């Protein structure tokens, strides 16, 4: 009898294959694949969850209407992936950010870092928030 996880794996691998075509990178490996089907690495540096892959593939018509081509959609996804890496560390404060970053859905619908303000939780206990 085929295990339910085996069915999920085949679906997840298909999502990863399709996302790889969109972003121009083959799936490299799955994180903790012996435990769960949740995160896939692309190009040895970008990590996407199964949910993020679903956002890309299941809503491709919406993204094509917004961005025009699958290559442009792929560029938006890789721009977001690069931003999440770059945005994880704040060199001015020499610390990792504690605020929630922009998720993939919000990025693809147009939200950008300049559209949000620092949240007071980003300020250390001994610091005062910056003036507006």
In this structure, are residues 43 and 91 in contact, taking their beta carbons and an 8 Å threshold?
no
Which pLDDT value is given to residue 122?
47
**Residue ranges of the chain with pLDDT lower than 50?**
122-123, 125-126, 132
Round to whole Å and give the CA distance between 37 and 29: 11
Q: Where are the alpha helices (DSSP H) in the chain?
A: 4-23, 50-58, 60-67, 70-86, 104-108
Whole-angstrom Cα distance, residue 42 to residue 27?
5
pLDDT of residue 119: 54
Question: What pLDDT, on the 0 to 100 scale, is given for residue 86?
Answer: 77
Rg (CA), the chain: 17
Q: Which residues, 6+ apart, have CB-to-CB distance to 55 below 8 Å? A: 104, 105, 108
| pLDDT at residue 126, rounded to an integer | 47
The pLDDT of residue 114: 82
Please enumerate in sequence order all residues whose Cβ is within 8 A of that of 105, keeping only pairs 6 or more positions apart, or say none: 55
Q: What is the pLDDT of residue 65?
A: 98
């Amino acid at each position: 009898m085929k295990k339910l996880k085996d069915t999920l794996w085949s679906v997840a691998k298909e999502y990863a294959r399709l996302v790889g075509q969109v972003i121009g990178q083959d799936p490299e490996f799955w994180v903790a694949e012996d435990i769960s089907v949740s995160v896939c690495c692309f190009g040895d540096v970008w990590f996407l969850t199964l949910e993020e892959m679903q956002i890309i593939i299941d809503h491709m018509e919406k993204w094509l209407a917004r961005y025009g081509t699958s290559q442009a959609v792929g560029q938006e996804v890789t721009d977001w992936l690069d931003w999440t890496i770059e945005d994880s560390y704040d060199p001015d404060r020499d610390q990792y950010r504690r605020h929630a970053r922009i998720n993939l859905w919000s990025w693809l619908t147009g939200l950008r870092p300049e559209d949000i303000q620092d949240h007071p939780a980003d300020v250390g206990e001994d610091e005062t928030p910056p003036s507006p």
